[in-house]
Amino acid sequence: MRIKKYLYAVLTSFLLAGCSLQEEPYGFTSTENFYKSEADATAAIIYAYSILPEIEYYSRNFILITELPSENITLKPDAGASNFEFDELRVRADNPDLTTAWRYAYIGINRANAVIANVPGISNMGEAYRDQVVGEAYFLRALHYFNLVRLFGEAPLRTTPVTSIEQINSPKSSMQDIYKLIVEDLVKASDLMDMTRREGRADKVAAWSLLAKVYATLASAKSTASPGYDFVTGADEMYAQAKTYADKVVHQQGVYRLDPNLKAIFDIDKENGPEHIFSVSTDRTGPQEGNFSKLPLMFIPYIDGAVFTLEDGTPVRSAWNHLLTEPALYNSFAPEDKRKTELIVSKVYVDGEERVLGINDYSRPFTRKYLDPHQVGEQTGVNTPVLRFSDVLLLFAEASGPTTEGYEAINQIRERAGLQPLEEGLSPEAFRDAVIQERSWELAFEGNRLFDLRRTHKMEEVLEQKYGKAIQGDPYFFPVPQREVDANPNL
């Protein structure tokens, strides 16, 4: 059963239990008649997950604000002004998409805090499952804070449920304190969770994977003197931790692995394939956006309003042509790279007639990572990937450096893409630069590129010097939303 289908039932149980779902401002809930049973615990954790596929989070907004500032995508000419601020790296504090990103992360944090505070007190449920639920809440809280600290830098830390307006007026915490909490939460999550795959939910491997990414962020930011990371004690120590946790994922579990077939990874009928460690789950039969996803429509071009087909016969409905692949990314692939030839569509067929999509055309080559041939109207069931095995394998390579292990890891990715092995004998800096470049090809359109450029102190070098984009604001942290500053005098 999809997590979103299950959500409908648990929301009803919230209402029957007298638990308010009103969020003023961050998911206030009454506990008087709730948190009494295992069913209540399950309902609470599914409610915590349900913030992720909202339009304002992973089903649209998060991808917009993390991909547009990079060299991966740009916008159609008549897109909204708020989107263009991200695309042109001049984001204002009153940008509504920015405000949404902050707000929804804190809604998610409050829901996770409610689970952490209340589920341990439910005595009439099995200990193992109670631990699992609480562990998932720690994972979710860490994910939200990791997003916040990478987007905004310093931000308020809230570790207990917010139940009144007065509680939101907390000051910023340092990045050091936020990262400390993220690591602590993920260690607890990995200790509490098991390795059972539950569709749309996190497990122990997801916690290891996110820990690897957190430590790699700290390590690379320290080694490159990326702004804001002076507090990190040492890059080598952080890379050692990143390698430890990435190694657990790569070599010490049997649930997830590299999928040999690139197209299969993003096949809507194989969403629980071996490579998906954690994805945000949606359901095309849901009653409203946030249950289903319209994210694919942002990428799919409008071609005569027709249903066109891909070379392999996959049917695709014309859509919004909102997000356009940039020449900078498209032209950076080697011609034989399968991540270009198999995962970026450059040729379609309309009524049997071939149409070639030019990279400088209005309707350009587009990613097939977000396609649902079974969509109902504008409703799709496409999941948004958050952690994939290849992501962690490349983190393992980065942390290992130019060693036998490091080369073996990155070359697994290159071999699957149809490329020759990486040049031998690279320095540690050159090798890690090569890994970051490999990540740009492997994880394109998945919300990673901005963070990789920020943590490696390469925003100016890549976007300005290499691709000629003008950075008009702070390239490393977005401003705290003006609405939040106005509401909270301590900000």
CA 60 to chain centroid, in Å, comes to 11
Token output for 423: 């040049």
Q: What is the CA radius of gyration of the chain?
A: 22
Which phi and psi (to 5°) does residue 300 adopt? -75, 130
Q: Which residues of the chain have pLDDT under 50?
A: 1, 8-29
Residue 174 pLDDT:
98
Query: What are residue 308's DSSP bridge partners?
Result: 316
First to last CA, the chain: 42
φ, ψ for residue 168, nearest 5 deg? -85, -10
Instruction: Count the helix, strand and coil residues of the chain and give each as a percent rounded to the nearest 5.
Output: 45, 10, 45
State the pLDDT at residue 163: 78
> What is the amino acid identity at position 372?
D
CA distance 60 to 66: 11
Strands 276-280 and 323-325: unpaired
Question: For all residues of the chain together, what is the average pLDDT?
Answer: 93
Rounded distance, CA 34 to CA 41, Å? 9
CA–CA separation, 312 and 349 (whole Å): 10
Listed as own residue / partner, the contacts of 403-410 with beta carbons closer than 8 Å and 24 or more positions apart are 406/431, 406/435, 409/250, 410/434, 410/435, 410/438
CA distances in angstroms from 105 to 87, 359, 385, listed in the order given:
22, 34, 17
**Structure confidence at residue 167 (pLDDT):** 73
Burial of 482 (0-12, 13-18, 19+ CB in 10 A): middle
**What does the pLDDT read at residue 21?**
31
Give the integer Cα–Cα distance in Å for 101 and 85.
14
Orientation of helix 127-152 relative to helix 96-118, angle to 10°:
150
| CA 70/CA 326 separation, integer angstroms | 9
Q: What domains, with CATH codes, occur in the chain?
A: 3-193+478-487 (1.25.40.390), 295-382 (no CATH)
Q: Count of residues for the chain?
A: 491
Using alpha carbons only, give the angle 111, 155, 454 rounded to the nearest 5 degrees.
Answer: 110
In this predicted structure, what is the pLDDT of residue 316?
96
